Structure 1
Amino acid sequence: MTQTAMAPTRTDRLLAGVERLGNKLPDPFLLFLGLFLLVGVISTALELAGTTVTIPGTDEPTAVRGLFTGEGLTWLTVNLGPNFIGFPPLVTVVTILLAVTVAERTGMLGAAIRVSLGSAPRWLLPYAVGLVGVTASVMADAAFIVVPPLAAMVFKAAGRHPIAGLVGGFAAVGAGYSTSLVVTSLDALFAGITNAVTTNLPNAGATVTPVSNYYFNVAASVVLAVVAGFVIDRIVEPRLEREDAPREMVESDDTVDGSTAPAARDDEDVAPALRTGPGDLAPELDAAERRGLRMAGVAFLVLSAVILVAVLPSGSPWRNEDGAFLPESPLLDSTVFIVFVLFLGPALVYGYVSGSLRESADVPKVMALGIKDMAAFIVLAFMLGQFIALFNWTNLGSALAVSGANGLESIGLTGYPAILGFILLASVLNLFIVSGSSMWTLMGAVFVPLFALLGYEPGFVQAAFRIGDSATQVITPMNPYIWIFLVMLKRYEPEAGLGTVIARMLPFVVPFWLAWVVVLSVFYFGGLDVGPGVGIRIP
């Protein structure tokens, strides 16, 4: 039941103001075009001024390079195409989208959700979404694409507001990205970077491994899942109800008579069950759906077994040169392929068994419907790719990180306030450098030796960095996945803009940041190990 008669709260008014302000920004394509030109002007001025930055651990200073110079303009003309095609999220988004669209349009996801929610209490869903979201970083960036729409479907099937699930799923994945209940490739990546800057320290403490933050990660995952569930249940969903936000998805301008079916020219030859996409979910499965779901489950198990048989043998080509999977290996680089196959294979089986797919020609037609939904993002990706490539090429990100780190160091903070200042600096820099490995490479080179001299374990400093690396990335336009989320949100709210996204995400950012700091404080003041053999202080 909607609550449209209820007066907006003070929080509602604040978030509405943020939304209005953010939505007054130019179209995202034009916004990033303007930022591209701004970075070009600033970088050129800094190069003409002879600006350099010395990254700790390097022998030579790094010069800031300008766009509007001979070198810069040559770089642009040579790399315009590669900047677009090489934009990292395109590889993940477009590939996985092809498979997820088939799983969605055949009805497999809806059927699986109805079965899984048959006896699940409604009150538990926000907390389940929170837990799945913060743990989903095991799928790397694929989590940003898979979790939010599934969470929306879960909420809709349970009679709750689907946008609350969509928003909560994205927030949990993004703001909790650096933590998980299981060890991920990010743990190995961070450990390698940390160890690289401790080699010359006289007393470097315990060697950092992929499990050096495991205790902290598990505790943080549980706490953040509870916080995410609380925010979804008590703040986000009630606000959506007060706003009377739409519960049904709408299509793009290519609609038929205002219905949710895509235009006939796109899918007139597709099986009828695929035309409307994920509409209302009936409470009970019919015989064909049950049979299709059983066979899809069998297909999932078979494919999983094939993958395990391929990668587990000691001589598997998916292992690294040392015969392991961490810190890097072909298996970890195959995440997109694995997610693609585990969605597409069962979806095809479900479609043909249930009858939602009639013939093989239906498959590419259904995939095309998913690409059509993402057309606006693909256009935006052209400009995003140019901007991010320029930002990296000019070395402005490195200059920003090192300058901020040196500024904090010059203040002379010691003890726990220094840790909080470090986390706050990482949170701010995360608004500009969303790549965790890039930012940790820069910040770790400065702060790991600094805090080691103060007696702090490198593994503990790495744990503190995780807070700043994640909490704020769901509100920065520099995060390319925020624009993918905007496309998802527009399927419910066609008028949504960047301001809408930020307003939806803000209720998560501060609670996540504070909850994470509280968890770290418990470890710090309790003298607890953040991982096996890794305490707070160097013995």
Structure 2
Amino acid sequence: MTTTATPTSRTDRALAAVERVGNRLPDPFLLFLGLFLLVGVISTALQLAGTSVTIPGAEEETVVRGLFTGEGLAWLTVNLGANFIGFPPLVTVVTILLAVTVAERTGLLSAAIRASLGSAPRWLLPYAVGFVGVNASVMADAAFIVVPPLAAMVFKAAGRHPIAGLVGGFAAVGAGYSTSMLVTSLDALFAGITSSVTGALPQAGAAVTPVSNLWFNMVSSVVLALVAGLVIDRLVEPRLVREGAPVDMVDQEDAGATLESAPAAEDDVAPALRATPTELSPDLEPAERRGLRVAGLVFLVLAAVVVAAVLPGGSPWRNDDGAFLPESPLLDSTVFIVFVLFLGPALAYGFVSGSLREAADVPKVMGLGIKDMAAFIVLAFMLGQFIALFNWTNVGSALAVAGADGLESIGLTGYPAILGFILLASVLNLFIVSGSSMWTLMGAVFVPLFALLGYEPGFVQAAFRVGDSATQVITPMNPYIWIFLVMLKRYEPEAGLGTVISRMIPFVVPFWISWVTVLTVFYLTGADVGPGVGIRI
């Protein structure tokens, strides 16, 4: 008999309200088009009113410029293309994505996950699933599709409840999406957005790069993995056993039809590159094991080459003082290093395992990654216009100064202001699940605001990451929650959105509290959140 959790009527009403509000939000492109026009109107009104602000540290007043003036319209017509092409995330994200796509489509990332989960002892499985899930954002959104079913398979093979693996895998991926032990395309995306809004600040702090949150991310990923494992082991699985939740999949011919979320590959690409997660086994084939060994060796060789290139005292990757911090060619080469460390092992794995047949397959696979990014590239056009307008009009500076003065007037300039910012991001995350969209919107205001209060932009970005992920596994606005529901229905045909929410809630609060605790420790100790990026400017 299938048993599903029945949420209270109050919970149903709350979820229905969230869904109604979220459904009324326009498409992100149209949302930022509307915000672009709104900023244009506000900036024009402020210019006509003769508005100017004095930014602490600046020698001259900053005058607000209006879009709907002769000067503003001329700026727009001249810079429309430059605003788009100059949007910083395009340079970093698309470049890194080319390599990550090869690693994903050849099967390297999936094989590495299966190897790490399959080799874990039975008692360690929940923590292994937590660690893999939290760090799986290196696969971008594909992690939502790959990790949960594999975790369920491994749990069942070890004699544990498969739904616990399924639920734990999805929760770890979603609630911990903004962090990873490795530098990912998300780091590049956030860093690009942060950098794009600090240019007008006289004291912008340390340059924000894809590694600016590395130390914070590494600590957070370990802590969240432990928390995820503990929740799976002590809360989720015992509850499933008490409820008598089924341990076998229901025979449904079309149950997994919607799980094939990856776009279909071109006909002339190797068939192995078209495999979906539901076709994968937790056991590795001999060719996959050989591919992993060779890929690991290639990774070590490439890493050694990088170290050998930058360690000598006269290395061209050091700065003028012979160091690497706070800025140096080495930090500016992060995109290249990440690209090479993903692409080299991915190529080795692909050709050894047979998922790549010939050299011509490589650009075809890279093309699939660009195809997957088409929606983001279109959105980036509007995001670029919005950020550029926000900076050019100086509306962001005016809001930052006004906000900083307001916080100072009520005495809220310390850590409580950061906690309020995280809480706001967590609430907004229920409605805007796109991290890039939300950080574009919040970063334009809060990065300059907190910079005026003395906080490093890189630290503010780290705080945003906490609020950006923890709540996205309980919002109907997350498209992957519906895909997860299909996965869950293969075990519990009567499961609905309320069932999913009830399975996810045990993760949200512990994740949020533990992640805030990690940030608090960094704040209180003054430890850098990344290379050369401290708490205060």
Q: TM-score of the superposition, structure 1-length normalised?
A: 0.68
Query: Which residue is 1:140 aligned to?
Result: none
Task: Provide the secondary structure at the position in 2 that maps to 1:323.
Answer: coil
Alignment-derived partner of residue 172 in structure 1? 176
Q: Which amino acid in structure 2 is aligned with residue 315 of structure 1? A: G
Unmatched tracts of structure 2, length 5 or more? 153-162, 182-187, 206-212, 427-437, 487-500, 529-537
Contact 1:171 1:508 in 2 (8 A): yes
Task: Give the letter for the 1:128 counterpart.
Answer: F
Find the counterpart in structure 2 of residue 313 from structure 1.
Answer: 312
Q: What letter matches 1:472 in structure 2?
A: G
Change (3 A) 1:284 1:220: closer
Distance across 1 between alignment mates of 2:95 and 2:394? 30
Greater shift after overlay, 308-317 or 510-519?
A: 510-519
> Any gaps of 5 or more consecutive residues in structure 1?
134-143, 178-183, 200-212, 253-259, 449-460, 478-484, 495-502, 533-539
Corresponding residue of 2:326: 327
* Aligned counterpart, 2:432: none
The aligned residue for residue 14 of structure 1 is 14
The percent of aligned pairs where both chains have the same amino acid is 59
Give the C-alpha shift of residue 444 in structure 1: 4.1
The correspondence of residues 146-157 of structure 1 with structure 2, limited to 5 A, is: 146=139, 149-150=142-143, 153-157=146-150
Contact 1:104/1:277 (8 A) holds in 2: no
Deviations 1:104-155 (A, max 9, x none): 221222221111112323321454257648xxxxxxxxxx654664475343
User: Does the alignment pair 1:286 with 2:285?
Assistant: yes
Pick closer, same or farther for the CA change 1:227–1:86 going to 2, 3 Å.
Answer: farther
Cα offsets for 1:18-73 (capped at 9, x unmatched): 23421221122111111111111111111111111211111212122211111211
- Look up the match of 2:125: 122
Deviations 1:295-329 (A, max 9, x none): 11111111111111111111111111111111111
Letter in 2 for 1:284: D
Kept after mapping to 2: 8 A contact 1:83/1:389: yes
Which string of whole-angstrom CA distances, capped at 9 and with x for unpartnered residues, describes residues 351-370 of structure 1? 11111111111111111122
Alpha-carbon contact 2:67-2:393 (below 8 Å) kept: yes
Question: 2:70 maps to which residue?
Answer: 70
**Structure 1 residues 365 and 122: alpha-carbon distance in aligned structure 2, compared to 1, 3 A threshold:** same
**For residues 52 and 426 of structure 1, what CA distance do their matches in structure 2 show?**
30
Aligned twin of 1:336: 335
The equivalent of 2:416 in structure 1 is 420
> 1:411 is aligned with what amino acid?
I
- The letter of the residue matching 1:69 is T
Q: Which residue of 2 aligns with 1:458?
A: none
Q: Conserved in 2, the CA contact under 8 Å of 1:467 and 1:516?
A: no
After the TM superposition, which residues 453-532 of structure 1 pair with which residues of structure 2 at under 5 Å, given as runs? 468-474=463-469, 514-515=513-514, 529-531=525-527
Superposed displacement of residue 216, structure 1 = 9.5
The root-mean-square deviation of aligned C-alpha atoms, in Å, is 5.0
Residues 218 and 469 from structure 1, CA distance in 2 versus in 1: closer, same or farther, beyond 3 angstroms?
Answer: same
- Cross-structure match for 1:370: 369
1:222 & 1:514 partners in 2: Cα distance? Answer: 15
CA 1:383–1:433: 2 relative to 1, 3 Å: closer
What code does the residue aligned with 1:396 have?
Answer: V
Distance 2:341 2:378 in 1: 28
Task: Go from structure 1 to structure 2 and tell me whether the alpha carbon gap of 1:16 and 1:277 turns closer, same or farther (over 3 Å shift).
Answer: same
Counterpart AA for 2:273: L
CA distance in 1 between counterparts of 2:180 and 2:445 reads 18
TM-score by length of 2: 0.68
Residue equivalent to 1:443 = 450
d(CA) in 2 for partners of 1:82, 1:132: 35
Looking at structure 2, the residues matched to 216 and 150 of structure 1 have their Cα atoms a distance apart, in angstroms, of 21
3-state SS of 2:357 partner = coil
Question: Following the alignment from structure 2 to structure 1, what is the Cα–Cα distance between the partners of residues 485 and 92?
Answer: 25
Amino acid across the alignment from 2:111:
A
Go from structure 1 to structure 2 and tell me whether the alpha carbon gap of 1:515 and 1:125 turns closer, same or farther (over 3 Å shift): same
Superposed displacement of residue 424, structure 1: 2.4
Quick one: which amino acid aligns to residue 467 of structure 2?
A: T
State yes or no: 1:98 paired with 2:124: no
TM-fit CA distance, 1:278:
4.5
Q: Distance in 2 between matches of 1:126 and 1:151?
A: 13
| 1:475/1:71 CA distance change after superposition, 3 Å | farther
Q: Alpha carbons of 1:14 and 1:445: their partners in 2 closer, same or farther (altered >3 Å)?
A: same
Matches for 1:336-415 after TM superposition, within 5 Å: 336-412=335-411
Query: Shift of the alpha carbon at 1:269?
Result: 1.2
What is the alpha-carbon distance in structure 1 between the residues aligned to residue 459 and residue 484 of structure 2? 37
Q: Secondary structure at the match of 2:324?
A: coil
Question: Residues 27, 367 of structure 1: CA spacing in aligned structure 2 closer, same or farther, 3 A cutoff?
Answer: same
Taking the aligned partners of 2:471 and 2:402, their CA distance within structure 1 comes to: 20
Matches of 2:390 and 2:470, distance apart in 1: 19
Query: Which SS does the other structure have where 2:22 is aligned?
Result: helix
What number of residue pairs does the alignment pair up? 454
